[in-house]
Amino acid sequence: MTMPEWNDADLIEACLDGDEHAWRTLLERYNRLIYTIPLRMGFSKVVADEVFQEVCLILLEKLDTLRDRSRLSSWIMTVTRRTCIHRLRKKQPVQGIDIVKVSGPIESTPEDKLLHLEEKRRVQLAFERLSPRCQRLLRALFIEDPPLTYEIIAEELDMALGSIGPTRSRCLEKLRQQLIKLEQEAIEEGQA
């Protein structure tokens, strides 16, 4: 069987049999997916490289524990997200969440599309957990088309003009915390 014809189950079997070419193929097939997750969670390229290495080690050590071999991409996404969450728990510095980036255009590969849809769903769930005031502010700043001016936002939300920026920062931090909380809940329920 040639490499392009390998489905995930066959690829896993070849990897478990010690086929180095199969390992390279597996990593080439899923490297973009693994890198995308930490980058979309706000980690730097350097940290994404470290996450990639950690995930590769986990794959090497735990690939034989995957029960449903047709769900390799989902399993890899879960392993990668858990690795990222572990880094967040260790309080390593990360950039803020870019709500526009998460709601940006869908990428071209099926893995990118699946990842985008999952992230969009998580952002929506996290957004719904915010206070109505934070929801209104973030909607006005990031979702309205065209975005509302600070003057209009201040008037509509009965806020001082100078408090919009700091309030926006606090609301984005609350959104980030809700995203982390959702991820932890999913891990605890075994649904991630």
Nearest to 55 by CA among 33, 22, 25: 33
Q: So what's the pLDDT on residue 165?
A: 87
Residue 130 has pLDDT above 90, yes or no: yes
pLDDT, one tens digit per residue, over 70-96 is 888 888 988 898 888 888 777 544 444
Distances (CA, A) of 3 to 18, 21, 42: 15, 9, 34
pTM metric for this prediction: 0.50
Q: Could you tell me the pLDDT band of residue 53, with boundaries at 50, 70 and 90?
A: very high
Of the chain, the percentage scoring pLDDT greater than 70 comes to: 81
Collapsed DSSP state (helix, strand, coil) of residue 62: helix
User: Taking the mean position of all CA atoms in its chain, how far away is CA 103?
Assistant: 12
Q: Looking at residues 170-184, what average pLDDT do you find?
A: 86
Q: Where in the chain is the domain with CATH 1.10.1740.10?
A: 1-95
The per-residue pLDDT for 174 is 92
pLDDT at 186 over 90: no
Report residue 166: phi and psi, to 5°: -60, -40
Q: What is the per-residue pLDDT for 104? A: 46
Question: CATH 1.10.10.10 spans which residues of the chain?
Answer: 97-192
The pLDDT tens digits of the residues spanning 131-172 come to 999 999 988 888 887 777 888 888 888 989 888 889 998 999
| Gap between the Cα atoms of 31 and 109, Å rounded | 12
Kindly report the number of other CB atoms within 10 A of residue 144's CB atom: 12
Assigned CATH for 97-192 = 1.10.10.10
| Tens of pLDDT, residues 1-43 | 444 578 888 888 999 998 899 999 998 999 998 988 888 888 8
Give the per-residue pLDDT at 52. 92
DSSP state of 68: -
Topology (CATH) of 1-95: Rna Polymerase Sigma Factor; Chain: A (1.10.1740)
How does the average pLDDT of the chain come out, rounded?
Answer: 80
